[in-house]
Amino acid sequence: MAKRKTAYVCSDCGAEYPRWQGQCNDCNAWNTITEFVVSPARSQPERNLRGYAGQTGAKIETLNSIDIAELPRFTSSFKELDRVLGGGIVPGSAILIGGSPGAGKSTLLLQVMCQLATERNALYVTGEESLQQVAMRAQRLNLPNDKLNMLAETSVETICELALSLKPQIMVIDSIQVMHVADVQSAPGSVSQVRESAAYLTRFAKQNHIAMLLVGHVTKDGSLAGPKVLEHCIDCSMMLEGESDSRYRTLRSQKNRFGAVNELGVFGMTERGLKEVSNPSAIFLSRGEEQSPGSIVMVVWEGTRPLLVEIQALVDYSQTANPRRVAVGLEQNRMAMLLAVLHRHGDVQMNDQDVFANVVGGVKVTETSADLALLLSIVSSFRNKTLDAQLIAFGEVGLAGEIRPVPNGSERISEAAKHGFKRAIVPKANVPKQKVNGIEIIGVSRLSEALEVL
């Protein structure tokens, strides 16, 4: 009997080790190295593993001789999803959609597949639910269910064999964590099973020009579960996010070989499933009738469009020796840095104040254009002075107190004017050469100038 060979793989980055150890040397993560059994080597390599995506008969071609019209995109029937995907679904692409439990991943994909099944050959593979449960959800959402092909299976080889006879144009695998390959001697959901299952399905999709949508679980810290190599082998990775007490969901792309990264799509959760929100700025600007100190609207850039969101700040006297700095939807370390800039170059000291900041609507802002609006809201709360409800602001604040320009300044100002805002505090370099009707633009180059406007 042959001796069983084992390997140890980090579940975060996919690094392999000959023996177990507590910390991964590549990503420095602790307790992420797990054991799995290595399948025995085959005497001869399989033919379907050769070449790109297993294709045979490869030849050298010049770049301009490749016909890209052979694989035209097709719509997913959701404009917001098409936006995140870069303009539609590409045949032969592998798309991974993740999200926390209850975010609406299965609901969104079931809606997409039921609509596409009326025009295309579609296959929905479920490994976590029974066919009766999926049918009950489709009936509850009042979806067209007479064309969609369903399959309840977890064996990757069986799924691909049945799909070859059906020849679908688009497939959904729900979810990749419950799939298993016969050659791998480990439980479904393990590092080796997820890696091999994803590689097998991705290769099958590219060989047969089938658009493959994979559902992925997330860990307790919100990142995609499974090895890091899972994100490398697929073409597009998206995250469906939303708080349990919120009726809105945001779909953001983290990797996209066919479009822009960090594109944002907004959906509303209703009794009939997920509905598109064509104007996201309107839902994030549902402000109260009475304006209060510490509130201002900023314009952030999400993917290929501007987005108006409200930022609120609360400054209160601290009862402890170490004042708290809490940021929700913003980077907390950057807020601490901006408070130091405010002290040094704005002559506003908050060493004895607790500072809380929140982006309304659950939006996560990662770009630096929110710096100026954040500081203005903090100063407004600290001075207990209400800002003009028709005022918007954006701009990056440097360590020397300068206001740096941000990309797409003119488009941000135009979006604010479209929503009825009358004043804008922006970096001087972002002031458009031509006057924008209906809005007064105030260009500032230093933080002290911006504070004087208040």
Rounded to 5 degrees, φ, ψ at 267 are: -130, 155
Residue 102 assigned to a binding site: yes
Which residues on neighbouring strands pair with residue 307, listed in sequence order? 300
Burial class (CB in 10 A: 0-12, 13-18, 19+), 52: exposed
End-to-end CA distance of the chain: give it in Å, rounded. 81
Nearest CA to 97 out of 197, 174, 37 is that of 174
According to the annotation, is 105 in a ligand binding site?
yes
104 is in an annotated binding site: yes
DSSP collapsed to 3 states, the chain: CCCCCEEEEECCCCCEECCCCCECCCCCCECCEEEEECCCCCCCCCHHHCCHHHCCCCCCCCHHHCCHHHCCCECCCCHHHHHHHCCCECCCCEEEEEECCCCCHHHHHHHHHHHHCCCCCEEEEECCCCHHHHHHHHHHCCCCCCCCEEEECCEHHHHHHHHHHHCCCEEEEECHHHCECCCCCCCCCCHHHHHHHHHHHHHHHHHHCCEEEEEECECCCCCECCCCHHHHHCCEEEEEECCCCCCEEEEEEEEECCCCCCCEEEEEEECCEEEECCCHHHHHCCCCCCCCCCEEEEEEEECCEEEEEEEEEEEEECCCCCCCEEEECCCHHHHHHHHHHHHHHHCCCCCCEEEEEEECCCCCCCCHHHHHHHHHHHHHHHHCCCCCCCEEECCEECCCCEEECCCCHHHHHHHHHHCCCCEEEEEHHHCCCCCCCCCEEEEECEHHHHHHHC
334, two tokens: 């950057």
Is residue 101 marked as binding?
Answer: yes
Residue 422 assigned ligand-binding role = no
Q: Is 106 annotated as a binding residue?
A: yes
Residue 381 marked as a ligand binder: no
* Alpha carbon distance 416, 156 (integer Å): 50
Residue found by looking up tokens 């180059």 in the block: 445
91 annotated ligand-binding residue: no
- Give the other-Cβ count within 10 Å of 30's Cβ: 9
Q: Which residues are annotated as a binding site for ATP?
A: 99-106
Q: Which residues are annotated as a binding site?
A: 99-106
